[in-house]
Amino acid sequence: MATKISIELLIMILNNVQSPRSTQDLYSSLLVNRIWCKVAIPILWELPLGQECMDNKKMNKKALCIRTYISCVDAQARTLLKQNGFDLASSPPQATFDYPSFTHKFRIDNLIYFVSLYSQQIINSDKDNNNNDNNEIIITKSRILFHEICKLIINSCSFLDSFKLARVPEKFSPYFLNYSDLIGSILKLPGAPKVFKKLKSLSSIIRDERIRPLYESLALISDNILNMDLSSNSQAKSLAELIIAQKRLENLSIVAYRYESHDLLFWAIISQKETLKSLCLKSVNFYYFKGKSPIGQFISLQKLNIENCHGLCRLGSDSLFFASSFNQLSSFRFIDKFGRYHQEFVIKILEAANTNLKNLFLDLYSAITLDTFSAILNYCTKITNLTLDNLNLEQIIAIFNNNFNELRSFSFNCEIGLDANKLLCQMAKNVPESLETIEIRMGRFTADSLRIFFEGWCYKGGGENKKIIVKRTEQARLFVLSDEHRKVIEEYGVQVNIEE
């Protein structure tokens, strides 16, 4: 019986049915009719190499995809596998569909896991060898199978949306991360230029120096990447070239692992100032950055995340030119656990973003300085979500008195020794009407103080859209809500969570 809905609509429906946790519904669609089956198969076969899988049971099940891939290899590859001791009885030399052509999201670590698991089932081991020798044989032969399956996928699929290089098992590292081996030679395969030309998402957490040529090759092939999540050990130059090569990069995340100059990376980032929407920098070194003059505005950047970066305490690095370029910023997350930042860097970002800033998260090594706190009050008047650390009572009350009329969520830690009862009573005097969620790390508090705060926050029974999360301090780790607390909570209808 013919399907009553269009193929285009059916594809949309089944694409929305798929889930990383379960493919049961998609498998069920295979049984509806031939048309449904033909639509569902490509969607199902995009999943094995595209999704992260941490569950061992599911990993073993998904590894069976290798059995089907082997059925798709050509006669020359089958001969090679047989010559190297692979038992191919469970993989007949034909397949119903061209399964490798459906791969559009490719995680290298998935393929390595699947190959290593499945190889153990189909490699004829020598019983005369000891376990160590057998393991070496399996690893060596697994590399052969890995090479053939990867070559099959690259030469079969029409394009890759996503390519991820993640960490691989320790025993495979010396083999699979070497550029002279497969990962490095992927882009030398005949179908690679066409496949990688349309790449939209690139992710790599591999820091090995030998991965550098892969980045250099990608810079020559892929110029339409939208999302990059990259690690840098000593590959700053090659990563910079890859970033500069992009025409419309939107989301960029860089994690650095060596204290070296990242001047080239900064200029590469600046080259994308017209298209970037999200930028995350972790442990990147600002120390040698030389702006010398304004660098223009990041006209599309909405989200900025800077975590534990180096050199921000040195204003001579001209980092202020960088900080003043984010006038469209709506979300700013800044973490400094080592005292490496200069307050003027943060202040300059707050000033540039001004009332566009809706989400602010500051987690600093030391208490927020007076100038930084004043900048929050003066520039961020349209803030909706605010997270600060180590606040004193005066600062907390200043937030409540600052007419943050759009503030919906406020999260903060109190300074050590602050009286929780006094805090609740003081906050009750001027709670922003817009506030829906408040998260506080504080000590013990009485039911009476809680009632006073609720009276200032909402009317009795009117707290159904209000929530308070209390994270207990070390001194109050045994604190639990009493019957009196619960009575107050029930009376006002506010949701109260007590957490560690």
Q: What is the pLDDT of residues 58-86, one digit of tens each?
A: 777 788 899 999 999 999 999 999 998 88
> Which structural domain range is residue 3 located in?
1-44
Average pLDDT over residues 132-157: 81
Q: Which two structure tokens, joined as six digits, stand for 144?
A: 């052969």
Higher pLDDT, 426 or 117: 426
A 10 A CB-CB count for 281 gives: 22
Q: Is the pLDDT of residue 429 over 70?
A: yes
Mean per-residue pLDDT of the chain? 84
Beta strands in 210-314 (DSSP E): 227-232, 251-256, 278-282, 303-307
Among the ranges 270-279, 339-348, 477-486, which has the highest mean pLDDT value?
Answer: 270-279
What percentage of residues in the chain have a pLDDT greater than 70? 82
How many domains is the chain partitioned into structurally? 1
- Per-residue confidence (pLDDT) for residue 478, from 0 to 100: 79
What pLDDT digit, counting tens, does each position of 260-306 carry?
667 788 889 999 999 999 999 998 887 767 765 667 899 999 999 99
On whether the CB atoms of residues 213 and 174 are closer than 8 A, the answer is no
Beta strands in 97-205 (DSSP E): 105-107, 162-165, 201-204
Higher pLDDT, 211 or 254: 254
Among the ranges 166-170, 256-260, 396-400, 416-420, which has the highest mean pLDDT value?
Answer: 396-400
On whether the CB atoms of residues 387 and 418 are closer than 8 A, the answer is no
- Per-residue confidence (pLDDT) for residue 313, from 0 to 100: 67
The pLDDT-based confidence of 365 (bands split at 50, 70, 90) is confident
Tell me the whole-structure pTM to 2 decimals. Answer: 0.86
The pLDDT-based confidence of 165 (bands split at 50, 70, 90) is confident
Average pLDDT over residues 343-372: 93
The pLDDT-based confidence of 179 (bands split at 50, 70, 90) is very low
If you search the block for the tokens 């970002």, which residue do you land on? Answer: 349
What pLDDT digit, counting tens, does each position of 229-251 carry?
998 776 788 899 999 999 999 99
What percentage of residues in the chain have a pLDDT greater than 90? 46
Higher pLDDT, 338 or 382: 382
Average pLDDT over residues 116-144: 69
Measured in degrees and rounded to the nearest 5, phi and psi for residue 281 equal -125, 125
Among the ranges 186-190, 203-207, 457-461, which has the highest mean pLDDT value?
Answer: 457-461
Cα separation, 231 vs 264, in Å, equals: 15
- Per-residue confidence (pLDDT) for residue 78, from 0 to 100: 93
**251 found inside a domain:** no
**2 found inside a domain:** yes
Cα separation, 89 vs 258, in Å, equals: 49
Cα separation, 458 vs 216, in Å, equals: 59
Measured in degrees and rounded to the nearest 5, phi and psi for residue 441 equal -100, 110
**34 found inside a domain:** yes
On whether the CB atoms of residues 451 and 419 are closer than 8 A, the answer is no
